[in-house]
Amino acid sequence: MKRLAVYCGSATPDDPVYIETARHVGRTLADRGIGVVYGGGRLGLMGAVADSALEAGGEVIGIIPEALVGAEVAHRGCTELHVVSGMHERKKMFTDLSDGFLTIPGGVGTMDELWEAISWAQLGYHTKPVGLLNAAGFYNDLIAFNRRMIEVGFIRPAHAGILIVDAGLDDLLDKMAHYTPHQTIFAMKAENL
């Protein structure tokens, strides 16, 4: 994996574990020679990932919608900063420029990005690993919900392993590096769906 799209919040929660997680992610990716592709912001966890990766000598590619540049939240210190027209173009660039997706704690936008990466993987728009860092148990309920969707049958057995979860970053990155792509919906026949 040469580059990972990192999905995370633009907020800074009161509990320092979240900002420390973001800094750890940025440093670790840079140390492993993995570039960061992210939302292009300078605030919150986004900014912490970018700053830490840059400080460690890593590549950081920001992709930010025009409206957020106007709100003065763009990170001007990125290796590259792409200004796009909107969120759809932003997420397509995340997919085009990265070799996988790493989600750390965040809010609504982070969930939108995570679920789109999973949905696109199921369909076959990409066959890249989708990782979820369950830092401080932040995603316990989401992991349980994903398991419930599998148990009920809304996620097919062939797609149950798309979401790769771990509480430790190194273990998660190792699992992502060894991900074997699944059979996509586009490759299935109707009788198998």
Condensed to tens digits (0 to 9), the pLDDT of residues 128-173 reads: 999 999 999 999 999 999 999 999 999 999 999 999 999 999 999 9
- Whether the full predicted model's pTM is greater than 0.85, yes or no, is yes
Rounded Cα distance, 102 and 117, in Å: 10
Would you place residue 193 in the very low, low, confident or very high pLDDT band (cuts 50, 70, 90)?
A: low
pLDDT tens digits along 42-66:
999 999 999 999 999 999 999 999 9
Domain 3-192 listed as CATH 3.40.50.450: yes
Domain ranges of the chain: 3-192
Amino acid at 122: Q
